[in-house]
Amino acid sequence: MSASSSSAPYIEPWLRGTHSDIPAVGRAVLHALDLALDDLTKWTDGLTDDEVHAQPLGLPSVAFHLRHIVGSTDRLLSYAEGKQISPEQLTVLKAEQSGPGLSHTDPANPETLAALLAAVEVAFSDAADRVRVLATADLETFRGVGRKQLPTSIGGAMVHVADHTQRHVGQVVTTAKVLKAMRANEPPVLR
């Protein structure tokens, strides 16, 4: 799902002709995940593991957003599949803010940028399999979210996977830019 490292001009996933075997809504979700991985890889390139866990200017860390993207993708697809959140998923949700007890400085359990990006790739690969199945269903089928069973549909939950992921990717990009600017002691550009 990641971008090619060739010198060819960058083409956004939705223009690559990929996932053409999937109906349009599912294809758009997969393209959004492809774009998310492209952007995460591009904008976190060069960050140190310390920077990935830093909270510059009080912003949530890049590590938090990457953990949250992994967990929320799984949870939202569970809702799309008509399931409720499992105890394991709730444990993951609670660990997203502080980390799953892992540290990038703990050699037994390194939570490095590479490990976090690998987790995103695995989550997106799993999500692609699930979206392929869901994309063939009636997208208007009711789905209830949470204990209150707030109303959505299969299609609504799938689309929310895409927009929620992109929202957090934007936060990663912003935080990465702040970290790199702080590293270089560059004053922020005000426009």
* pLDDT tens series, the chain, 191 aa: 555 556 789 999 999 999 999 999 999 999 999 999 999 999 999 999 999 999 999 999 999 999 999 999 999 999 999 999 999 998 988 888 776 544 555 555 568 999 999 999 999 999 999 999 999 999 999 999 999 999 999 999 999 999 999 999 999 999 999 999 998 776 555 44
107 assigned to some structural domain: yes
Whole-model pTM: value is 0.87
9 assigned to some structural domain: no
27 assigned to some structural domain: yes
128 assigned to some structural domain: yes
11 assigned to some structural domain: no
175 assigned to some structural domain: yes
Label residue 174 exposed, middle or buried (CB < 10 Å: 0-12, 13-18, 19+).
Answer: middle
Number of domains in the chain: 1
Domain hosting residue 171, numbered range: 18-183
13 assigned to some structural domain: no
